Structure 1
Amino acid sequence: MTPRPPLPPFTLETARAKVQAAEDAWNTRDPQKVALAYTEDSVWRNRDEFFTGRPEIVAFLTRKWERELDYALRKELWTYHDNRIAVHFQYECHDPTGHWYRSYGNELWEFDGDGLMARREASINDVPILEHERRIFGPRTP
């Protein structure tokens, strides 16, 4: 397996870099690309869904971005220790009927020694918004 820096144990700087790399990848909305950041047997909980492995991650992300259109995400480091990172995030998207949502959540991440995420647990809440209430537009600009 090819290492995926930054590698654990994390420092403040490397944890922030890992979070930004995740945000950047998810904002591509490319399930194949995003899945490469996870171990072959990565274990996920996303809302009320539980699944394991890259093929299931790709299938989940494909479904997600087919219904969450114009998805734009912001992640922020909450805390880190050794091989774990906690983040909070917001994203906005609209459904195929044009209804907009802002979703708020927290994630717990656990990494293997090669910097691949072996475990991801996400709790997420959705809030309906009007299009003019949007505040996240595409990937973050440096």
Structure 2
Amino acid sequence: MTIEVSPTGKVARLGAHHRWTIGAAGVVAVVLTALIVLMKPSAPRGWENGSFLNDCCGGLTLHDGEMALNGKPATRYTIGRDAGGFYVLPRFYVGGMDNLGFEIDGSRPAAKLRLDRLPDPQEVQVPGARETFLFERRPGVVP
């Protein structure tokens, strides 16, 4: 039971009707918050799919949440968007190694691989130890 004190100092009790109204308002607030969170638009699955090449490291293929490096399965990834734009976030750290290929390191935090746009990205930026490598989509190359 809820007790309310009026400005004159008198104690008043809230009736069942008032408690019901307050409870219903709380339920409505929770439902609306859940709907807003669930309706947040996400990047459509598959819009990032493609194969990208760079002379230093070779090929990077993105296909429905699976990343392949130089034709070999490497790791899963998710797509996200922040103030810098769209990105691919691998499960493990993936980076370019100067003229050697790719580095995959499960002990380091994953780094965002930046996409120039979605859908149909034409470029992917992959971090490296000393520089960022630009991978370009090659026409006719299918994931």
With the length of structure 2 as denominator, give the TM-score of the two structures.
Answer: 0.32
Q: Which structure has the highest helix share of the two?
A: 1
Using the size of structure 1 for normalisation, the TM-score is 0.32
Structure having greater relative contact order (Cα 8 Å, sep ≥ 6):
1
Highest Rg: 1 or 2?
A: 2
